[in-house]
Amino acid sequence: MLAIRLCLTIVALASKSCVATSPYKILVLNPFPGRSHSMSVLRITEGLIQKGHQVTSVGYFPVETSVPNYVHKNLTKAENVYVSFFNLSSFTGSRVQRWNVMKIVHQYSSTICGTDFASDSVRKLANEISNFDVIIIPMFCTDCFLSFMYKLKAPVVGIVSVGIMEWLSENSGSTNHPAYVPNNLMDYANPMSFWVRTENLLVGWFQSFYYKQFIESIGEEVARQYFGDELPSLRSLARQVNPLLSNSHFTYFFSRPLVPSVMEIGGIHLGKRHKLPNDLEKWINESTHGVIYFSLGSMIKGHTFPDEKRQEFLKAFGRLPQRVLWKYENDTMPGKPDNVMIQKWMPQLDILCHPNVKAFISHGGLLGTTEAVHCGVPVMVMPQYGDQFTNAKALEANGGGVILHLYEATEEKVYDALKTILDPKFKKQAEELSTRFRDRPMPPLETAIYWVEYVARHRGAHHMRTAAVGMPLYKYLLLDVIAFLLLVFGLVFAASFYVTRAIFRKLFGKKDKQKGD
């Protein structure tokens, strides 16, 4: 038995040495000014640097390191443009507003392709460098940076920061069946009723049409200005992105079938926990009944929180025995009770994973939702825009939280929602969800790095792409086959009918004739 184990160990080590990689030259194009959309790419960049690969990144957020195998090229800061999109007073939660979320996507695309693509860093990159083994590009609201796939003749690994959008499903050939795959920019949960499935189908068609007609054309026009008319269409380049790594996971999101070229790496942004600052550590530890953490992410700022709603929350907090940590960008907060501490920035993951933190009030952003699931903390979710409604529904469906829309928040409703998630039974559900989320064969960062190196080793991964990519709709839905089968069945039925009628007429016609005689 010992000899067998030794042989297996030798074989395993030999197989590992066969796939061991020398340092690759990797380009990371990360043009999103919003930190939440950049975190997934930053974590992968950091992991690749630590493995010794030669990494060049272009974006707003560099990895904090001084190692010689990493070079970062800064883009012009445009974060204020993005932040101005998100004002809590402007989000009503109406159906019209949820359908119009494509306008925000459109604004994102216009800024990224119009400003970032024209920056000096990007221009120099296009003219000076041409020998990368693989390019990493976040796939979200524009494909203009995919033109570097053509310019540099290198394969692309796509990173999806907010789940798989309608247009990304189409480009990857992944099944996006509206009967059971909720649109991630709406607010659906399974099982879906007839009317919800109808809207799910229609909104998917609308988003795909809008992206192709209005957003894709922006990137196409800008990319051709720099790379010429010989540049292939961005849609054809998007279909060559393999694999597509999605920052989602079936344990806290709705399960869906995925093709081999689409993989889930939910939790990729989760890093190592650090010791809390002394003031926060003391505040949390000294809370006899625990702490509630309140944050609406990096894009929504405290000064946009409606005054009347803030007062409703403060009154509810004043009735609770727990202390509250509120990420709030203003220096002061009128009417703040003694059990509430405000700070402009807080280490969210470190706070959520503290054993004395009992609940989380969140806007439902994917990163914060993932962190809450990872730490096993129940959430009161107040979704505002984009994928947050679907994230909230998925979290609620999996027993990790409750939903309270900001526009309906009153002192009583806030108090009741918090009492619900502070119940020990709810905490147990959140911990069970956390256990399922953590239980996987390989950590998400290792999974992502493996596939980046895989693409570099094989100079692409076109063999992972299914034949559904680029297939005409009539073929994908088998409309031609169905039409042919209906024609055949119709002809067979018609022939059978006429033959049977002729036989009956011949048989019974003779009898009637004989009786007449």
Report the pLDDT averaged over residues 332-336.
87
Model pTM score = 0.85
What are the structure tokens assigned to 207, written together?
A: 């988003």
- Residue 103: pLDDT band (50, 70, 90) is confident
- Residue 410: pLDDT band (50, 70, 90) is very high
- pLDDT score of 26: 95
- pLDDT score of 221: 87
Report the pLDDT averaged over residues 479-505.
93
Q: Whole-angstrom Cα distance, residue 179 to residue 201?
A: 8
- Percent of the residues in the chain that have a pLDDT greater than 70, as a whole number: 89
Report the pLDDT averaged over residues 314-329.
93
Number of Cβ within a 10 Å radius of residue 395: 28
**Contact between residue 333 and residue 315 where contact means Cβ atoms under 8 Å apart:** no
pLDDT in tens, 81-93: 454 455 666 666 6
- Residue 227: pLDDT band (50, 70, 90) is confident
What are the structure tokens assigned to 121, written together?
A: 């860093």
Give the chain's radius of gyration (CA, Å): 28
pLDDT above 60 (res 10):
no
- pLDDT score of 15: 39
pLDDT above 50 (res 2):
no
- pLDDT score of 1: 40
In three state form, how does the secondary structure of 109-135 look? HHHHHHHHCCCHHHHHHHHHCCCCCEE
pLDDT above 50 (res 19):
no
pLDDT in tens, 49-68: 999 999 999 888 889 888 99
What are the structure tokens assigned to 260, written together?
A: 């081999």
Residue 151 one-letter amino acid: K
pLDDT above 80 (res 77):
no
- pLDDT score of 372: 96
- pLDDT score of 88: 64
Report the candidate in 331, 322, 330 with the shortest Cα–Cα distance to residue 414.
322
- Residue 511: pLDDT band (50, 70, 90) is low
Per-residue burial over 487-502, b if 16 or more Cβ lie within 10 Å, else e, is eeeeeeeeeeeeeeee
Q: Whole-angstrom Cα distance, residue 147 to residue 406?
A: 41
- pLDDT score of 222: 86
pLDDT in tens, 166-177: 888 888 888 888
pLDDT in tens, 171-203: 888 888 899 999 888 888 888 999 999 999 999
Helix (H) or strand (E) segment spanning residue 343: strand 340-343
Q: Whole-angstrom Cα distance, residue 409 to residue 416?
A: 11
- pLDDT score of 346: 92
- Residue 43: pLDDT band (50, 70, 90) is very high
Q: Whole-angstrom Cα distance, residue 335 to residue 59?
A: 40
